[in-house]
Amino acid sequence: MGNIVLLDDLTINQIAAGEVIERPANVVKELVENSIDSGASNITIEIKNGGKTYIKVIDNGKGISKEDIPNAIERHATSKIKNIEDLENTYTMGFRGEALASIVAISKLTIISRTIEQDLGLKIVAESGNIINAEEIGCKVGTTMIVENLFFNTPVRYKFLKQDATEFKFIKDFVQKTALANLNISFKLINDGKQVFSSNGNGNIKDIVYLLYGKETSENLIEVDYKEDDVRVTGIIGNTIMARENRKDQIIFLNKRNIRNQILTNSADQAFKGGTGIGKYGFFILNLEMPANNYDVNVHPTKMEVRFKDEGKIYRIFYHAIKSSILSKDFLGNNENEIKKQDYVENEYKFLTNHFNKYENNQNTIKRINPKVESINKSAKQEELINRDEVRKVDYVYKGILFRTYIIIEVGDEIYLIDQHAAHERLLYEKIKANYKNNLTTNSQMMLVPELYDLTHKEIEFVKNNIEMFKNIGFDIEIFGENSVKINGIPDIDYKVDSKNIFLDTLDEMLTNERSSSKDIEERFIATVACKAAVKANMDLTKAEVDNLIQNLLILKNPYTCPHGRPTTIKFSKEEIGKKLQ
């Protein structure tokens, strides 16, 4: 006899549950999403023991009819789509018809529901997939779902659960995010008898942000409402003060569904560049609204991932939505008097869309400051003739470093704040690019002790495919065994850098931002190495290093933007300061 047997339904559902239900928060997600889909305007969530013993979700939605309740817990039973084509037109959170079947396979589930057409509701209790009790019951229109003893029959899963407080935190995070996306629904979250969160459903995102992040935060928000084509981006971004150490407060919704998406994250990074301070992440809570046929959410059962049909378009629109909001308010690096907003956006856009060469020709459209350099009165034509090696002397007085990040110099009647990272990045970019283009063989600084790094499969593939590029830029690199590399030297940039970071960070960046075509990869590689090798904020520079940096910077033809197009420098005149203080 053969060994292959057909699995029974319960086993199938328990296995499938593993995909969507890993912890109590996933149950809450599925139940709350069903409540949202039912058109509820009030949703209450009650939790006990971090959701391990008890989860109750009450809604005032349209309810489930008596006949449908038994079907609802069947696998592949949904009222939301009839065939796969419907997905192109579906805006509900659910559509797979498997959440309740999964939940009931691994817990005790009670459903109480009534529709407006019925006088009495129905209450059923089901366990391990089977209905064990059903009775008519008087109740309000809407649905209550109670999930008890989650994972009681899948002990291995139960064992992996964290402490109650941690499990509850996952639940709270989910509920709060959901409230941020569904501004017209009032949510209440109760934990072990205590109300921990509630939103009033009045449609105002700032009210919820105030609740979640406090008063100071809500004063530093900029509202976003941007429309292009059939895509609309709404929500809020935080100004410079709100920049974060991590990505926790970068929340993206797509038609109100919380998603993770690398393309959007990259786009936001580019838009915030220069606006957050070095090494920090922009704060944003944004919802993208677009026709459902622009993307596919049926990538994974949890629906956290989506695939966009036109990634470039979405990237661009998200970028512009954020960037134009940034430019409308006080942000680090913004100086509206001096910069034509459109120029700025266009310039960055050109970089982003990989028209690097075009961007270079256009560099001079950004005229942020005019230091009193010798060439100041030269005509545009003469200006063009100045090559990079010509030393332009600038009389400046070094005043110090602000926040261990911004170099302050005084030039005549003006004060310049120079972002030490952006400025250094700009310098290194020019140097590395020159070395690269001239094929200099001496562009590597040898390391005292070669270093070996174990790489992932994806990383080693990238290195192998681009080994010449690594070498040309100054990495003395060898493939070592199956998946290791040996680094003997790193690009020579007159500056002591952390060799490990520059190599691994560059690799990481190149792999996370894989969207360029191969012809742009070199330009981006150079820019990335420059960025990773440049001094960071909070690195203390000596006076000599500062002098060196400023002098070298001002020799450049266009010193005032970093390779990504963002400003290295902002300026205030004595007159401007005087006016502000009047």
Ligand X SMILES: Nc1ncnc2c1ncn2[C@@H]1O[C@H](COP(=O)(O)OP(=O)(O)OP(=O)(O)O)[C@@H](O)[C@H]1O
Write out the residues near ligand X by the rule CB under 6 A: 30, 34-35, 38, 59, 61-64, 72, 77-80, 94-101, 143
Nearer to ligand X, 13 or 420 (CB): 13
Residue 547 zone, left/alpha/beta (φ > 0; ψ -120 to 50; rest): alpha
Q: Which is nearer to Mg ion, 55 or 326 (CB)?
A: 55
Q: Could you tell me the CA-to-CA distances from 425 to 99, 115, 402, 561, 571 in Å, in that order?
A: 50, 63, 18, 10, 19
The distance of closest approach from Cβ of residue 154 to Mg ion in the complex, given in angstroms and rounded to an integer, is 20
By CB under 5 A, is residue 73 in contact with Mg ion?
no
CB of 105 to ligand X, least distance (A): 11
Cβ of residue 78: shortest distance to Mg ion, in angstroms?
8
Q: How far is the CB of 94 from Mg ion (least distance, A)?
A: 3
> 78 vs 218, which CB is nearer to ligand X?
78
Q: Give the bridge partners for 308, in sequence order.
A: 295
Residue whose beta carbon is closest to Mg ion = 94
Shortest distance (Å) from residue 13 CB to ligand X:
11
Residue 250 binding target from Mg ion, ligand X, none, CB below 5 to 8 Å by type: none
- Confirm if 150 and 52 have CB atoms less than 8 A apart: yes
Between 34 and 325, whose beta carbon lies closer to ligand X?
A: 34
Contacts of 79 (CB under 8 A, 6+ apart): 68
**Min. distance of Cβ 36 from ligand X in angstroms?**
9
Cβ closest to ligand X, residue 64 vs residue 322: 64
CB-CB contact of 71 with 192 (8 Å):
no
Name the minimum Å distance from CB 492 to ligand X. Answer: 56
What 3-state DSSP class applies to 263? helix
Q: How far is the CB of 118 from ligand X (least distance, A)?
A: 13
Per-residue x/- track, 33-72, Mg ion (CB under 5 A):
-x--------------------------------------
Choose the one of Mg ion, ligand X, none that binds residue 18, judging by a C-beta under 5 to 8 angstroms depending on kind.
none
Which listed option, Mg ion, ligand X, none, makes contact with residue 331 (CB within 5 to 8 Å by class)? none
Among 55, 99, 122, 278, binds Mg ion (CB under 5 A): 99
b/e string for 454-486 if b means 16 or more Cβ within 10 A? Answer: ebeeebbebbeebeebbbbbbbbbeebeeeebe
Interaction between residue 143 and Mg ion (CB under 5 A): no
Q: Are 304 and 258 in contact (CB under 8 A)?
A: yes
Quote the distance between the C-alpha of residue 398 and its chain's center.
38
CB contact set of 353 (below 8 Å; sequence gap of 6+): 312, 316
Closest residue to ligand X, Cβ-based? 94
Residue 78 contacts which entry, ligand X, Mg ion, none (Cβ below 5-8 A, type-dependent): ligand X
Name which of ligand X, Mg ion, none residue 180 binds, using a CB cut-off of 5 to 8 Å depending on partner kind.
none
Q: Which is nearer to ligand X, 42 or 516 (CB)?
A: 42
Residue 94 or 235: the one with the smaller Cβ distance to Mg ion is 94
Q: Identify which of residues 64 and 254 has a Cβ nearer to ligand X in the complex.
A: 64
94 lies in the binding site for Mg ion (CB under 5 A): yes
Alpha-carbon distance of 545 to 227, in angstroms, equals: 46
**Crossing angle between the packed helical segments 420-437 and 518-533, to the nearest 10 degrees:** 130
Of 105 and 332, which has the nearer Cβ to Mg ion? 105
Q: From the CB of 45, what's the least distance to ligand X, in Å?
A: 12
Pure H helices in 182-287:
205-213, 215-219, 262-272
Are 520 and 526 within 8 A, CB to CB? no
Residue 386: which residues within 8 A CB-CB, separation 6 or more? 375, 378, 392, 557
Rounded-to-integer distance, Cα 395 and Cα 397, Å:
7
Q: Are 306 and 296 in contact (CB under 8 A)?
A: yes
DSSP state of 561: B
Residues found near Mg ion in the complex (CB under 5 A): 34, 94, 99
